[in-house]
Amino acid sequence: MDLQIFPPEEVIETTIELPLSKSMSNRALIMNALTPAAQPLPEVAQCDDTQAMETALAQWHSAAGQPFEANVGPAGTAMRFLTAFFAASPGCEVVLDGSERMRQRPIGQLVDALRQCGASVEYVEREGFPPLRIVGAQLSGGNFDIDASISSQFLSALLMVAPTMDTPLTLNLKGEIASLPYLQMTIAMMQRRGIEIEREGQTVTCQPGVYLQRADCEIERDWSAASYWYEIDALSAGWVTLTDLTLPSLQGDSALAQIFPKLGIITEIEEGNAVLNPTPEMHSRLDLDLSATPDIAQTLAVTCCMLGVPFRFSGLKSLKIKETDRIDALMRELKKLSFALEAEADGVLSWEGHRVPVREVPPIETYSDHRMAMAFAPVALYLPGIVIRDADVVSKSYPGYWDDLKRAGFTLNEVGVEAE
């Protein structure tokens, strides 16, 4: 489905209920599956990624010790977390696969670490990449080094199964920790469920233990999804209320509340809701290290370009192995809008105000990436009628995004677009 988007005719003033955090939901699902006699979670995110996790876990239950196959599609979190979960589940025998893009996303470091703990994981095709053949076993802990700069999901996957191991697991994290808030989220959620786990600097140690059923471990609204409403508010100077979105938060992307005042939007928490208000103050330039919050890079890049604010974002090394190479995708699609970005070095993206001539704006490609679709849709506020290709891709994390845009006054028309 391709969508042509037109802006509201009046100033935006809307109230939006964001989806639940898929990051917290996927962690809660794994922890719940590891909890003895666990009750079903009261509510989790309703999106493709979480559905992939739930489906694979249901297959595991139904298999009852018989070999089975599970395909998580493009869900990277599910692939990493389930690799560790199945490896730590005695009696499980599974071939775990994903989409073509997933087969290009490296998983070797996680597999190597699991093997050090006694796991039986084999590559079905290409060394270092899915699909995987996993035979579950009782794992042991240990003390070993792991490169923390590639993916925090590898660390979270290992730590969540660590309580089931025979001996303590200690990870010595080498290099800068990628997406540190996600690791902190994992640790906090484990502690809430009674697990003894501590992080001191670059070392994380988890003791063997048993997850406790906790009815009060609520899943927060998704701060990553909130980023698109910050963008919309910044480009429209309207008023947006995001219900049941509070601070402090376990989610690293709550840093939006500190970043967007530099782009003209302040956040006020009122009665458990985040109220976004425009302000005339705006920085003339934005230089940020986004290593802790790479998922908001696309939103910030598009927002800065549309507002004419030069920027330099570092810490984006992980973007090359996401649903697509997000740095390359951003450069390609923003160039269609006349903005000439530069990838200065590994993980650095910048725009110094340079623009190129554009006669007409072609459709925006999304590269099977939900965040590309959602970050570029608000461009309609400046370029009415912009077309977003493969708009259905938002179902990966925020299925109700297009309905929420309509609620805010945008007009969306489904169109047919001939391939270029």
> Would you name the residues annotated as active-site residues?
295
For residues 292 and 180, the answer to whether their CB atoms sit within 8 Å is: yes
Q: What is the SS3 assignment for 108?
A: helix
Lookup: tokens for 79 = 């692939």
The CA distance from 102 to 389, in Å, is: 21
Q: How far is 414 from 360, CA to CA, in rounded Å?
A: 20
Strands (E), 159-283: 169-174, 197-200, 203-206, 239-242, 265-270, 273-278
Rounded Cα–Cα distance for residues 353 and 308 (Å): 7
SS3 string, 233-254, reads HHHHCCEEEECCCCCCCCCHHH
Buried b (16+ CB within 10 A) or exposed e, 263-279: bbbebeeeeebbbbebe
Contacts 24+ apart (CB under 8 A), 207-210: 207/163, 207/168, 208/141, 208/162, 208/163, 208/164, 208/165, 208/166, 208/167, 208/168, 209/163, 210/35, 210/36, 210/163
Tokens representing 354?
Answer: 């340079």
Residue with tokens 């500190």: 258
DSSP 339: B
Residue 131, preceding peptide bond in cis (omega within 30° of 0): yes
Rg, Å, the chain Cα set: 22
Q: Give me 288's structure tokens.
A: 């940020």
Distance, CA of 244 to CA of 240 (rounded, Å): 13
3-state secondary structure (DSSP) of residue 304: helix
CA–CA gap between residue 287 and residue 305 (Å, rounded): 13
414 CB burial (10 A radius; 0-12, 13-18, 19+): exposed
Residues in a beta bridge with 135: 93, 120
